[in-house]
Every structure is written in C-alpha cells, then in structure tokens.
Amino acid sequence: MSTTAASRALLEDLAGAGDVVTDPAVLAAYRTDQAAPGLLAAGDPAALVRPRTTAEVQAAVRAAAAHGVPVVPRGAGSGLSGGANATDGCLVLCLERMTAAPAVDPDNLTATVQAGVVNADLGAAAGEHGLWYPPDPASWEFSTIGGNVATNAGGLCCVKYGVTRDALLGLEAVLADGRVVRVGRSTRKGVAGYDLTSLLCGSEGTLAVITEATVKLLPRPPVSATLAASFGSLEAAGDAVRRIARAVRPSVLELMDRATIAAVEAFQPMGLDGETEVLVFARSDAGGAAGLAEIAHMERLCEEAGADLVVTTDEEAEGRMLMAARRLAYPALEHSGATLLDDVAVPLAAIPALLTGVARIADEHDLLIGTFGHAGDGNMHPTIVYDPRDEAQVQATRLAFAAILELGVALGGTITGEHGVGLLKREHLAAELGPDVLALTQAVKHAFDPAGLLNPGKAI
C-alpha cells in the first residue's frame, strides 16, 4: 500500500484515539521540536492525534500498526535534538493533553503522573505536601514529564540528586502493537526481572509510548546558600570544580565561559567582568549551619584554586541574583542569533581541555560558541550561534558541531549527556558505541518494535 493510501486508511480507523487533526496549518506547528533551525529535516505528517487517556493512545498506535504508518510521539516539543521531528506520512502522537492532576502519595513519598503533565505542575503538586520533585531541566516550566522520561532529562540539581532516571520507580507504556504494559514498581527497592523502567527512560520514543510515570519525591530541602567565583584561567576553574566535587556534595555546581559571559552582559547588563575567563556557581541546600559551612568550604577551595573573586550569600533573594547570570546563559546566546545547543559530557578532569578545544573550534570556523553547563557532572553545553540564512555559516556550524562531538568522545566523554541523540546526533552514535554495542542496541529496538514504526530514524 502506498504512503498516501496507508494514511487515508489510517484516518478512517482513528476513531476512539482522541482529537484527530489534519489541518495543514495546525500540523505545521507539530513538525519539529526546538532543535537547530535550518539544520534538520522534518517531514509532513498525515495527521496529528492528541489523546487524553491511555486507551486513546492504544487506539492510535493500533490503527497506525494496522496500516504500517510510523508514529512520532511528542510532548511539549521542547526537545533540542530533533527527536520529535515528523517524517513524511507519519502519525504525530502528541501527549500534551494527558494532564490529569498528579496523584501524590505523601506517606510513601511518590507521585503517579500522566505523560502530558508539565514538570513545574508536578513540582507544585508535590509542594502542596511539603515535598519536592528534584529533576529540573532548564525547560521545567513547560516541558512534560513524558518528554523528560523519554530523554532522561537532567538539570541544575542533578549533580546532587540525579537525573530523571534516578527519580523513576515505574512506567506505564503502550507498545508498538498497542499492548499496555506496566514496568517497575511503586516500592523504593526491587530487582525482580530486568530493569525495563531504566531501559525505557532515555529511549526517545523508539521502544514504546510512555503514558504514565510513578516517581520518587523528597522532603523539600532548606533554603540554599550560594557562591559565585570568577577565574582568570580555564585550568584554575577546572581545579576548583575538581576540588569541590571531591570534598562536598553541592546541590548546584555550574560554570560559563568568557564568550557566554559577554553574551549575558550584552543581553542584560549585570556588571560582569569581560576579562573573566570562567564563572563558577555553586549552591548548598544542607541548610542552617551545615549549609553555611559547605559554602565556606567551597569558598576556600575556590580561593586555593586561584579564584580572582568569590562572593557568597545565605539569603535566598541574593542567591537568585547571583545565579541569574547562569540562568540567562542560553537566552543570551539565543538573542545573538539562531543557536545549535550541544550537550557533550566529559570526565571532570577533562573540562578545561573541552573548553579549550571548543574555543579553538570556534576560531577555526569563525563562529561564536559560548559554553556553559553542569560542571559538577561534566555535562557542558557548547552553543553555536549562526545565521540560518547564510549557507556558509550553516556549513561551518555543521563542521564545528561534529568537531565538538568528536572532541568530547576523544576526551573520554559522550555525545549527549541529557538532550538525547534524536535526529541531530544519530550519525555520530556508532563512533561512541562501537559495532558490538550498536548491534545489541538495534536488537533491543527490534524486540520492542519489529516493524520499526516507533519514531523511525531517531536515536539509533
């Protein structure tokens, strides 16, 4: 059956699958995520379906399977790797309307939440019980839990509290043939069977469609104490990060380089010193005297590493002001032009070499590349600023991006720490995994999705 005929037959069978849309103007808004304008391909979907229940997801997946139509799952579309980009003739399965109120169980410190619930709304629901959901990607105010699970999203707090996978207990998911499975459990411990919950987390919609998650909650931490330190060299900043990571468990440990500092200052003047090579930010949520002691310890470590200036505070409002520059890093670079945001991760000791290498790549390709990120776990975000209308810049951006990925792997790291492979990095995956591991990965994909209909062309 041709793609057009399959799409037509699919539409006839989507009854019971939720809100079905074929209006080209609406479909256009669901063709891509937020990755790399002008750099990634996106097809024209046959239809969009927006279910509200797991049963409606089942109906959509079964209809697509019956007619051999690819399914591209998505949440808020806030991804940065092209993982939600449509393919020609596909069914876009958007879970943004699966937003039933999270079921918080304060006695067992858990919450069960539909895939379309926004991260911030889960946090608010937990907060009503004095509890906290730690994973906090930069998109926490609009990204969905389903999307966070699909990419194993991280965030500023992951240095101490881990990424999405570390907060997961169990999942409900719809398989490629429409069956519903529940994997994992609601207990804090359990080793019965393979860990399919962890397998599905980070699988980017290629193994199953995640419809519900059961997550761990924690008591709300105390008000944080905050530190900001400036360094005149990459080596000194790297030394400070290593010293801090060996000595304490900060709740946040971030940095940004000179190019990013300049972009932030141009975007929103804050009196940042243009001669500063690296700014390091740290927080402690130990609370009370313990928090003050941790910050004081980190201050000493920064000074011993050669910091030019260290500022600390135990006032929450002042702490937010100190962290403001770091939170403005990506918006400031976005303000400078179209952006291609990377997320390579390297061993802590390799952070200075990564920053030096990225600066060299920027010079070689005559591009603005600002680097910021999660210093505490080595996950950096070199961000290339380019003009998508300038073909020479687009080509230079492609080459620079590939060079950064190769550099990260050469330093003992990975091509993606938290954004996923998606479409953006798929051609670079084999170089990191090697042929044997790639073959195992493809075998897992085939076991879950033998017809290859779930998010084809992504991740592997």
Considering the domain architecture, whether residues 307 and 232 belong to the same structural domain is answered as: yes
CATH at residue 124: 3.30.465.10
Considering the domain architecture, whether residues 252 and 199 belong to the same structural domain is answered as: no
pLDDT in the model for residue 300: 98
pLDDT in the model for residue 1: 52
Q: Has residue 379 been placed in a domain? A: no
Residues in CB range of 365: below 8 A, 6 or more apart: 396, 397, 399, 400, 403
Considering the domain architecture, whether residues 116 and 209 belong to the same structural domain is answered as: yes
pTM of the model as a whole: 0.94
Considering the domain architecture, whether residues 145 and 213 belong to the same structural domain is answered as: yes
CATH at residue 305: 3.30.70.3450
Domain boundary residue among 327, 354, 382?
Answer: 327
pLDDT in tens, 404-434: 999 999 999 999 999 999 999 999 999 999 9
pLDDT in the model for residue 37: 72
* CA neighbor of 339 nearest in space, from 279, 272, 277, 259: 259
Q: Has residue 452 been placed in a domain? A: no
Domain boundary residue among 219, 238, 269?
Answer: 219
Show the tokens assigned to 51.
């279910």
Considering the domain architecture, whether residues 139 and 162 belong to the same structural domain is answered as: yes
Region 245-257 average pLDDT: 96
Average pLDDT, the chain: 95
Nearest-angstrom CA–CA distance, 440 and 426 = 16
pLDDT in the model for residue 2: 57
The residue with tokens 């000595």 is 247
Does 351 score more than 80 pLDDT?
A: yes
CATH at residue 46: 3.30.43.10
Q: Has residue 229 been placed in a domain? A: yes
Domain boundary residue among 50, 75, 94?
Answer: 94
pLDDT in tens, 320-338: 999 999 999 999 999 999 9
Torsion of CA 404, 410, 411, 417, to 10 degrees: 60
Decide if 101 contacts 125 (C-beta within 8 A): yes
Considering the domain architecture, whether residues 54 and 146 belong to the same structural domain is answered as: no
Edge-to-edge strand order for the sheet containing 209-216?
103-105, 110-114, 209-216, 168-174, 180-184
Number of alpha carbons in the 13 Å side-chain half-sphere of residue 155: 25
* CA neighbor of 116 nearest in space, from 139, 142, 95: 95
Domain count, the chain: 3
Decide if 239 contacts 106 (C-beta within 8 A): no
Q: Has residue 158 been placed in a domain? A: yes
Q: Has residue 136 been placed in a domain? A: yes
pLDDT in the model for residue 15: 85
Region 395-400 average pLDDT: 97
Q: Has residue 361 been placed in a domain? A: no
Considering the domain architecture, whether residues 190 and 278 belong to the same structural domain is answered as: no
Strands 180-184 and 168-174: antiparallel
Q: Has residue 291 been placed in a domain? A: yes
Q: Which residue has the higher pLDDT, 304 or 460?
A: 304
Decide if 282 contacts 225 (C-beta within 8 A): no
Does 7 score more than 80 pLDDT?
A: no
Beta partners for residue 372, in sequence order: 256, 381
Within 10 angstroms of residue 1's Cβ, the number of other Cβ atoms is 11
pLDDT in tens, 126-174: 999 999 999 999 898 999 999 999 999 998 999 999 999 999 999 999 9
Strand ranges (E), 156-257: 168-174, 180-184, 209-216, 218-219, 225-231, 252-257
pLDDT in tens, 197-226: 999 999 999 999 999 999 999 999 998 999
Show the tokens assigned to 446.
């085939």
- CA angle 36–38–41, rounded 5-degree value: 90
Nearest-angstrom CA–CA distance, 211 and 145 = 9
pLDDT in the model for residue 36: 80
Show the tokens assigned to 29.
């808004």
pLDDT in tens, 37-93: 778 999 999 999 999 999 999 999 999 999 999 999 999 999 999 999 999 999 999
Considering the domain architecture, whether residues 110 and 215 belong to the same structural domain is answered as: yes
Q: Has residue 110 been placed in a domain? A: yes
Domain limits for position 280: 222-327
